[in-house]
């Protein structure tokens, strides 16, 4: 116990001493002696913000090491998730799946801002409600009501493709950051945003969106106008909402924080809870199902008067018990999109820190004078892949598009003349002939977690599946994640 207390004391001393090195407002630079935030000596500004606030709807996930991959027999013999130890940085993830009501708010905003001049933007975002149709079942009422009727407001949105889910994440980022600027008194409400004149975090930071300015921040640079907009260095704006990586999703789903003792994991969980059963052992609710899944052939909800999971289709978000991170429905209800491009051997290729496949490195497009080009017609910054000239001489990456790296690029081929293959031909089609010998391509995305229509096997967070990024189903939804900035522990 004395050793543990000493370790905790050491951490606190290190944290406090590190904070004292940078005093922030009114302090002096420890390297030059010049005072921060003083316009009389040049006005170098240092924010007092020391920690990242938790964004709306999110739960903090303390990172760490874990074994990612199979926790039970591979009944499909896919051999695509061999166990591997890796580390995930601390991050944030939604407490629940994104609901129909959440998505309807998004559609309403799009219609209000773009509906008159760019109706295609709104149409592109609409979920595919026809996913409920079945040639040999009568699900037509769900086609008409699941998204729109108030009775389904708290149910997870489905019929959303990976591409649509990413667009929702971008929109959510902008609405949250716009509200943070309003709450800070920097901007005022602007319900009249139209077309390209809408708040976008990137265009705001780049100076291509002004908005209704309430009280701009004071610019301490004596050569300035005395006013400025908020920037990343102020600590007001949050990082972007995004889909979780496959590693983040699996780590969050397992919730191993609940069965770890002094860095020793007591049990390598098969599900987001301890044990190999899908019923709770809590005395008050003994025998109740802990997840929404298909119990057996033709059994989606149990017998009338004694329902098992009590849900024939997706259940409302927040149903059943959360895992030890406090996250709901990480097994069952709906499967969820992850950010990653799917490859069968990703777990063998992954880096062992913040594992991810899908990087396409890009830069904002600039003109010949180095200035950002004008935002596009819907108010977003334009991007292009990093150029070969910029990459030349680098060691950590050699091309912009790394979706195929080590599994799908020309070098991965069993061939002695891969260097002679034209660059334009170096695609996954050379290994994964989509529609001919494989359903895998650069646009195949991972989805995780069992759903209301899956048997218990798929409730294991380790199980991997994939679908084309532009396709949607009635059993795949999503939740958002966010990067943790700074210390992996809040308050440090």
Q: Which helix (H) or strand (E) holds 434?
A: none
Residue 164 domain flag: no
Residue 408 domain flag: yes
What is the C-alpha separation between 430 and 445, in angstroms, rounded?
Answer: 19
Query: Which pLDDT value is given to residue 2?
Result: 42
Among residues 490, 486, 485, 487, the alpha carbon closest in space to that of 238 is found at: 485
Query: Which pLDDT value is given to residue 443?
Result: 94
- Long-range CB pairs of 222-225 (<8 Å, 24+ gap) are 222/39, 222/40, 222/42, 222/43
Burial status of residue 3 (CB atoms within 10 A of its CB: 0-12, 13-18, 19 or more) = exposed
What is the C-alpha separation between 304 and 286, in angstroms, rounded?
Answer: 19
Partners of 318 in the beta sheet?
A: none
Residue 423 is given by DSSP the state: G
Q: How many domains is the chain built from? A: 1
Residue 210 domain flag: no
Q: Which helix (H) or strand (E) holds 93?
A: strand 91-94
Query: Which pLDDT value is given to residue 425?
Result: 63
Tokens standing for 30?
């420890």
Judged by DSSP in three states, 61 sits in strand
Parallel/antiparallel/unpaired status of strands 84-88 and 227-228: unpaired
- pLDDT tens for the chain, 492 residues: list them: 444 444 444 444 444 444 555 554 558 999 999 999 999 999 999 998 889 999 999 999 999 999 999 888 888 888 888 899 999 999 999 999 999 999 999 999 999 999 999 999 999 999 999 999 999 999 999 999 999 999 999 999 999 999 999 999 999 999 999 999 999 999 999 999 999 999 999 999 999 999 999 999 999 999 999 999 999 999 999 999 999 999 999 999 999 988 888 888 877 889 898 877 777 767 766 667 889 999 889 989 888 887 788 899 999 999 999 999 999 999 999 999 999 999 998 988 999 999 999 999 999 999 999 999 999 999 999 999 999 999 998 999 988 999 988 888 776 766 656 667 666 666 676 778 788 888 899 999 999 999 999 999 999 999 999 999 999 999 999 999 999 999 998 877
Query: Which pLDDT value is given to residue 4?
Result: 41
Query: Which pLDDT value is given to residue 262?
Result: 83
**Residue 222 contacts residue 43 (beta carbons within 8 Å):** yes
Residue 374 domain flag: no
Query: Which pLDDT value is given to residue 310?
Result: 85
The Cα-based distances of 326 to 84, 95, 317 in angstroms read 25, 7, 13
Residue 415 domain flag: yes
Residue 413 domain flag: yes
Instruction: Supply the range of the domain harboring residue 430.
Output: 404-440
Cα angle 143, 144, 145 (rounded to 5 degrees) comes to: 100
The Cα-based distances of 155 to 55, 102, 131, 331 in angstroms read 21, 10, 16, 15
CB atoms within 10 A of CB 204: 21
Parallel/antiparallel/unpaired status of strands 264-265 and 260-261: antiparallel
Query: Which pLDDT value is given to residue 259?
Result: 84
Residue 409 domain flag: yes
Query: Which pLDDT value is given to residue 16?
Result: 44
Residue 427 domain flag: yes
């Amino acid at each position: 116990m004395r050793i543990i207390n000493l370790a905790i004391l050491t951490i606190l001393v290190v944290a406090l001493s590190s904070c004292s090195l940078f005093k922030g407002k009114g302090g002096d630079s420890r390297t030059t002696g010049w005072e921060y935030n003083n316009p009389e000596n040049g006005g170098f500004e240092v924010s007092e913000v020391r920690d990242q606030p938790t964004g709306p709807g999110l739960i903090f996930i303390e990172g760490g090491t874990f074994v990612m991959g199979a926790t039970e027999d591979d009944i499909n013999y896919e051999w695509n998730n061999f166990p591997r130890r890796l580390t995930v940085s601390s991050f944030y993830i939604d407490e629940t799946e994104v609901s129909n009501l959440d998505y309807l708010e998004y559609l309403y905003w799009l219609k209000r801002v773009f509906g008159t001049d760019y109706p295609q933007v709104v149409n592109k975002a609409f979920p595919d409600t026809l996913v409920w149709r079945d040639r040999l079942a009568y699900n037509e009422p769900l086609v008409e009501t699941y998204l729109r009727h108030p009775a389904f407001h708290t149910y997870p949105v489905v019929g959303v493709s990976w591409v649509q889910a990413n667009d929702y994440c971008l929109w959510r980022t902008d609405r949250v950051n716009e509200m943070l600027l309003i709450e800070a008194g920097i901007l005022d409400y602007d319900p009249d945003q139209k077309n390209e004149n809408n708040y976008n975090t990137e265009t705001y930071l780049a100076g291509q969106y002004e908005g209704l300015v309430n009280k701009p921040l004071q610019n301490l640079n004596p050569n300035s106008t005395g006013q400025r907009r908020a920037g990343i260095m102020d600590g007001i704006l949050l990082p972007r909402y995004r889909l979780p990586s496959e590693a983040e999703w699996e780590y969050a789903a397992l919730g191993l924080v609940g069965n770890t003792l002094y860095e020793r994991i007591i049990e390598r969980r098969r599900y987001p809870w301890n044990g190999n059963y899908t019923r709770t052992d809590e005395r008050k609710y003994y025998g109740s199902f802990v997840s929404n899944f298909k119990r057996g052939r033709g059994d989606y909800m149990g017998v009338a008067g004694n329902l098992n999971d009590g849900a024939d289709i997706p259940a409302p978000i927040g149903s059943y018990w959360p895992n030890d991170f406090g996250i709901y429905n990480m097994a069952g209800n709906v499967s969820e999109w992850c950010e990653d491009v799917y490859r069968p051997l990703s777990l063998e290729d992954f880096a062992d820190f913040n594992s991810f496949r899908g990087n396409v490195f890009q830069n904002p497009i600039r003109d010949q004078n180095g200035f950002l080009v004008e935002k596009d017609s819907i108010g977003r910054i334009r991007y292009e892949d990093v150029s070969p000239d910029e990459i030349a001489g680098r060691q950590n990456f050699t091309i912009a598009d790394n979706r195929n790296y080590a599994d799908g690029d020309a070098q991965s081929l069993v061939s002695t003349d891969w260097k002679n293959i034209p660059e334009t031909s170096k695609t996954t089609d050379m290994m994964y002939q989509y529609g001919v010998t494989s359903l895998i391509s650069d646009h195949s995305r991972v989805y995780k977690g069992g759903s209301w229509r899956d048997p218990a096997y798929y409730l294991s967070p380790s199980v991997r599946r994939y679908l084309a990024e532009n396709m949607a189903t009635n059993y795949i939804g999503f939740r958002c994640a966010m990067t943790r900035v700074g210390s992996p522990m809040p308050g440090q």
